[in-house]
């Protein structure tokens, strides 16, 4: 039933038997049953950002930003497939019980492919970072995994939030995100376009805000002109939750609920997450919509249900409970966590040598926190392994592990009746009795996330600045003053100001929100059982002083492509325990040398091949990255990522890896939003990070940069 034409035919046939009232009711996210037609109730709202969410037990993968740090499309596809499998298992079992409640359907409102343009945005950890190319490639792979390649859709993925949406959270219900044509086509739209045109994503969700004056869930420009017109999208469109109500209550572009419902439906919004479509029949009576408008959306929705095989026997009907949190799925989540961890600094202390340690101190509010493992939009794991538990399990009885919470996550005391910082002295005592101190700091979903999602009051889920909460800063300073070597583990979904850690800690690790059992992986990395290999999908700025205003959607001065200040840690950066060397590079079959020039005559030649050698003593994974900058006034100020490949090498092993480039690698976007190739010369850089000065300083390695002539 991947035949959309046949699914559409069946949908038209079924919808034609419905009354106007029945059709209108099917456009609600909680669509009721129509017993006379054999149509069961269906709830369109389900979540699968990094595992099946909010519906009980499921494999909890690292948060999306962590999976992005893996730079691994194969991993993303496998993860999507596992999530679809567990979703089918739950759907089958729940349906058998007659349970068709929210979070139990097969339409997943994931992935989030918005661009993490500002580090203060609280929902950025739901995304794949700041780069449109990386976001598009990872999003495409995830959708491919979710939707599968069987006779029916394994699940239906949804690209969200279309299209210019990345904070501020507190203003999203009334905010107008103004973006130039260049920024739209260069930054905000490419990932959505890739998911529509290359992954055939089944659904797209609109954003809360307006974009250039139009509310996104009622935008004829975004939905009709671009999405359905230019890109040929044939799936269904869903509003963000209660976003249509914002038309008349916050955006003030309509006066009544009936007008808002009509605006959204006319623009092409098929499913209302919210209750404004309860007013559709009144809008019909007022002549604001036609029965044809309602019918069109109903047919789109039933087309998706037929594509999923929800009225047929399918190859997925036998998937059962034994597939949920299976041994294989947990192993994949562990692999994802291992690939996600980014080593930012190491003065040689890591990996820790267990045989040389008598005691390890584990300190900090996130050291034994389950919340710090899971991010937001998560499922429920049957078992969690925190960093403290992972270290305890890894060293066993051979090494004493001392623990102190050190401080509250953000309050000035743990116990309400204490006089002030009431765990710092305990942390100092732990440090005194330890050979090394592992300090676990950061945030969790109560501090960064969606506005109101978990009751957070920390700037409505956004960050006011990049600083750790003050109690954590005080704790870190106290640990540094002990004179014991400090290994900092930062568990956040976003870039933080880690300048103090870079200056005073022996090692710094960005662990993100690593998943339910992420503490085991972090322990494995600390003790050398696994070598870190993650790369930053976002820039870690030194502070926010040089950043434009949060409300400014211009890309000038933002992200690595437009950055003018020197970052603390650059996009694409990450250290390892090994020593993989770039032995040689060829492009289009021609050997490349530093500052050499290569002529490419046809698209088939747009391929980079890198020869690698593992000169270290440990098995290692690395990420080859290819950056391109056109000799054009329309090019981004800095080189941009145009290709990447993760590769694994055993000690002493040599291997060649191929990184294909498409013609878009050489294209630019002009001020009119037009994509063109307006140059003959391009600087191509191949290495394990960006071709920038800061990456060279931190890694001691330099990209091989050469010129390509077209």
CA distance 236 to 223: 11
Q: Which DSSP string do the residues of 62-106 spell out, in sequence order?
A: PPHHHHHHT--HHHHHHHHHHHHHHHHHHHHHHHHTT---TT-SS
Average pLDDT estimate for 42-58: 98
Active-site residue (options: 214, 448, 524, 609): 448
With CA atoms as reference, report the closest residue to 226 among 166, 163, 165, 180.
Answer: 163
pLDDT in tens, 634-656: 999 999 999 999 999 999 999 99
**How many CB atoms within 10 Å of residue 504?**
15
Q: Which DSSP string do the residues of 500-527 spell out, in sequence order?
A: HHHHH-SEEEE--S--TTHHHHHHHHHT
Confidence (pTM): 0.98
With CA atoms as reference, report the closest residue to 267 among 329, 217, 322.
Answer: 217
Angstrom CA distances, 209 to 220, 249, 591, 604, stand at 14, 13, 49, 42
The CB-side HSE value for 661 (13 A sphere, CA atoms) comes to 29
CA distance 76 to 61: 11
Contact criterion met (CB below 8 Å) for 225 and 267 = no
Burial state string for 570-603 with b = 16 or more CB within 10 A and e = fewer than 16: bbbbbbbbbebebebbbbbeeebeeeeebebeee
DSSP code for 57: B
CA distance 471 to 1: 56
Quote the percentage of the chain above a pLDDT of 90: 96
Active-site residue (options: 131, 169, 240, 451): 240
CA distance 129 to 127: 6
pLDDT in tens, 148-206: 999 999 999 999 999 999 999 999 999 999 999 999 999 999 999 999 999 999 999 99
| R_g over Cα of the chain | 26
Beta partners for 592? 585
Q: Is 13 a catalytic residue?
A: no
pLDDT in tens, 72-131: 999 999 999 999 999 999 999 999 999 999 999 999 999 999 999 999 999 999 999 999
**What values do phi and psi take at 614, rounded to 5?**
-90, 105
**How many CB atoms within 10 Å of residue 462?**
26
CA distance 629 to 623: 20
CA distance 421 to 350: 30
Domains of the chain: 4-322 (3.20.20.300), 341-537 (3.40.50.1700), 580-709 (2.60.40.10)
Going 333 to 238 to 116 to 469, the CA torsion angle's sign is negative
The pLDDT assigned to 93 comes to 98
The pLDDT assigned to 604 comes to 73
Measured between its terminal Cα atoms, the distance across the chain in Å is 43
CA distance 308 to 301: 11
pLDDT in tens, 451-509: 876 555 556 899 999 999 999 999 999 999 999 999 999 999 999 999 999 999 999 99
Angstrom CA distances, 665 to 86, 264, 540, 608, 628, stand at 37, 36, 25, 12, 7
The pLDDT assigned to 482 comes to 98
Mean pLDDT lowest among 133-137, 160-164, 427-431, 446-450: 446-450
With a cut of 70, say whether residue 445 has pLDDT above it. Answer: yes
What is the average pLDDT score of the chain? 97
Contact criterion met (CB below 8 Å) for 164 and 573 = no
The pLDDT assigned to 94 comes to 98
> Which residues fall within 8 angstroms of residue 296, CB to CB, at 6 or more apart?
none
Dihedral of the alpha carbons of 77, 82, 88, 89, in degrees to the nearest 10:
170
Q: Is 448 a catalytic residue?
A: yes
């Amino acid at each position: 039933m991947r035949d959309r034409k046949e699914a559409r035919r069946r949908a038209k046939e079924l919808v034609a038997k419905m009354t106007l009232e029945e059709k209108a009711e099917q456009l609600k996210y909680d669509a009721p049953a129509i017993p006379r037609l054999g149509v069961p109730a269906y709830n369109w709202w389900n979540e699968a950002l990094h595992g099946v969410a909010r519906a009980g037990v499921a494999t909890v993968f690292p948060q999306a930003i962590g999976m992005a740090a893996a730079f691994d499309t194969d991993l993303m596809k496998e993860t999507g497939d596992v999530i679809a499998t567990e979703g089918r298992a739950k759907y089958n079992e729940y349906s058998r019980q007659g349970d068709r409640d929210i979070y139990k359907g097969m339409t997943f409102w994931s992935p989030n492919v918005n661009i993490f343009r500002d580090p203060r945005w609280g929902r950025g950890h739901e995304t794949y970072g700041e780069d449109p190319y990386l976001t598009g490639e990872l999003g495409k792979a995830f959708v491919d995994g979710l939707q599968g390649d069987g006779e029916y859709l394994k699940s239906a993925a949804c690209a969200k939030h279309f299209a210019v949406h990345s904070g501020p959270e507190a203003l999203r219900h009334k905010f107008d995100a103004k973006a130039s044509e260049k920024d739209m086509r260069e930054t905000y739209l490419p990932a959505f376009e890739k998911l529509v045109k290359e992954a055939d994503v089944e659904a797209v969700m609109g954003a809360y805000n307006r974009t250039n004056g139009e509310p996104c869930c009622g935008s004829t420009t975004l939905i009709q002109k671009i999405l359905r017109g230019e890109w040929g999208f044939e799936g269904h469109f869903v509003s963000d939750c209660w976003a249509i109500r914002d038309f008349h209550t916050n955006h003030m572009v309509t006066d009544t609920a009936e007008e808002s419902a009509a605006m959204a439906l006319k623009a092409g919004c098929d499913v209302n997450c919210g209750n404004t479509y309860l007013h559709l029949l009144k809008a019909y009576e007022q002549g604001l919509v036609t029965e044809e408008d309602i019918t069109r959306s109903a047919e789109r929705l039933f087309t998706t249900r037929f594509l999923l095989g929800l009225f047929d026997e399918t190859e997925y009907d036998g998937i059962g409970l034994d597939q949920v949190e299976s041994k294989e799925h947990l192993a994949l989540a562990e692999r994802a966590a291992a690939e996600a961890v980014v080593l930012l600094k190491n003065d040689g202390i890591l990996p820790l040598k267990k045989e040389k340690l008598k005691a390890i101190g584990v300190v900090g509010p996130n050291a034994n926190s389950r919340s710090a493992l899971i991010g937001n939009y998560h499922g429920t794991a049957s078992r969690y392994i925190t960093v403290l538990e992972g270290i305890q399990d890894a060293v066993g009885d051979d090494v004493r592990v001392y623990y102190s919470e050190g401080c509250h996550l953000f309050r000035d005391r743990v116990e309400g009746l204490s006089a002030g910082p009431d765990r710092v002295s305990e942390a100092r005592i732990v440090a005194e009795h330890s050979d090394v101190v592992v300090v676990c700091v950061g945030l969790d979903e109560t501090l960064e996330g969606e506005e109101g999602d978990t009751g957070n009051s920390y700037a409505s889920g956004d960050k006011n600045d990049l600083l750790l909460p003050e109690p954590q800063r005080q704790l870190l300073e106290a640990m540094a003053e002990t004179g014991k070597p400090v290994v900092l583990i930062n568990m956040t979904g976003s870039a933080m100001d880690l300048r103090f850690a870079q200056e005073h800690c022996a090692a710094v690790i960005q662990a993100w929100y690593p998943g339910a059992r992420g503490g085991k992986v972090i322990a494995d990395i600390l003790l050398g059982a696994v070598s870190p290999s993650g790369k930053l999908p976002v820039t870690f700025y030194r502070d926010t002083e040089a950043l434009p205003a949060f409300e400014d959607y211009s890309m000038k001065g933002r992200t690595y492509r437009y950055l003018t200040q020197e970052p603390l840690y650059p996009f694409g950066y990450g250290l390892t325990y090994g020593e993989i060397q770039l032995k040689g590079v060829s492009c289009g079959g021609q050997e490349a040398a530093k500052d050499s020039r290569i002529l490419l005559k046809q698209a088939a030649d747009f391929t980079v091949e890198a020869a690698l050698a593992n000169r270290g003593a440990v098995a290692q994974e690395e990420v080859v990255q290819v950056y391109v900058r056109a000799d054009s006034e329309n090019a981004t100020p800095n080189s941009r990522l145009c290709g990447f490949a993760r590769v694994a090498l055993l000690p002493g092993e040599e291997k060649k890896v191929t990184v294909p480039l498409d013609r878009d690698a050489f294209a630019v976007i002009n001020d009119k939003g037009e994509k063109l190739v307006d140059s003959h010369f391009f600087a191509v850089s191949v290495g394990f990070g960006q071709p920038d000065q800061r990456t060279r300083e931190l890694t001691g390695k330099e990209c091989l940069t050469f010129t390509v002539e077209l």
